[in-house]
Chain A
Amino acid sequence: GQNIDQPTEMTATEGAIVQINCTYQTSGFNGLFWYQQHAGEAPTFLSYNVLDGLEEKGRFSSFLSRSKGYSYLLLKELQMKDSASYLCAVRDWGYIPTFGRGTSLIVHP
């Protein structure tokens, strides 16, 4: 089976930087995804990592260490609209990802 762990809730201040961690234990590895889900809306794709290292996309970056079973999502210059749930999802073999419980991020002024 798979075990994906991420914090339940985090809070941060507008303009700051926040790092959301995800650890996983899988029998194989075929990619890790981060999704953003605002309340009452569909999850939307943020990033994909399959090789070790940092992938940067504007204010958002995602890091992967396969040997440690670890990823993080880094959000810079936080805005109020970044308040949402952030879902880590891992594929072991094949094409179907398994999701963690999600991290609810609250950004306050």
Chain B
Amino acid sequence: ETGVTQTPRHLVMGMTNKKSLKCEQHLGHNAMYWYKQSAKKPLELMFVYNFKEQTENNSVPSRFSPECPNSSHLFLHLHTLQPEDSALYLCASSLISAANTGELFFGEGSRLTVL
């Protein structure tokens, strides 16, 4: 138990569906992240929120839409995805401060399959 919870753990969707991934952290952290993990590739940073403000958007297609309503919750809204979007989507959080190493705490991930 890392203190970061992701739901659902598994999701199968068609290319015309709309679904959302949810992440919740109970660690009092001030930054939250979405990463994409595909086989044989490095973790790819998608979005970062710092104090609820989006600070990074790494050229992610608009079919992925993040939402951060407060510092404890993060969503990834999915619509009209492509089969190549099938991957493990990892949420993470960290505490950004001068007195902290700022390591990431990851959730278990949401395994997404797009048919």
Residues on A close to B: CB < 8 A? 4, 8, 31, 33, 35, 41-45, 48, 50, 87, 89, 91, 95-102
A44 and B41 contact, CB distance less than 8 A: no
What are the nearest 9 A-B pairs in CB distance?
Answer: A42-B106, A99-B43, A45-B103, A48-B101, A99-B42, A43-B106, A101-B42, A42-B108, A95-B96
How many angstroms between the C-alpha atoms of A79 and B106 in the bound complex?
A: 24
How many angstroms between the C-alpha atoms of A46 and B105 in the bound complex?
A: 11
B43 and A87 contact, CB distance less than 8 A: yes
A102 and B2 contact, CB distance less than 8 A: no
Chain B residues closer than 8 Å to A8, beta-carbon distance = 40
Chain A residues closer than 8 Å to B56, beta-carbon distance = 96
How many angstroms between the C-alpha atoms of A96 and B96 in the bound complex?
A: 10
A41 and B108 contact, CB distance less than 8 A: yes
| Chain B nearest Cβ from A73, distance in angstroms | 15
Partner of B90 from the list A42, A50, A97, A102 (CB cut-off 8 Å) is A42
A98 and B106 contact, CB distance less than 8 A: no
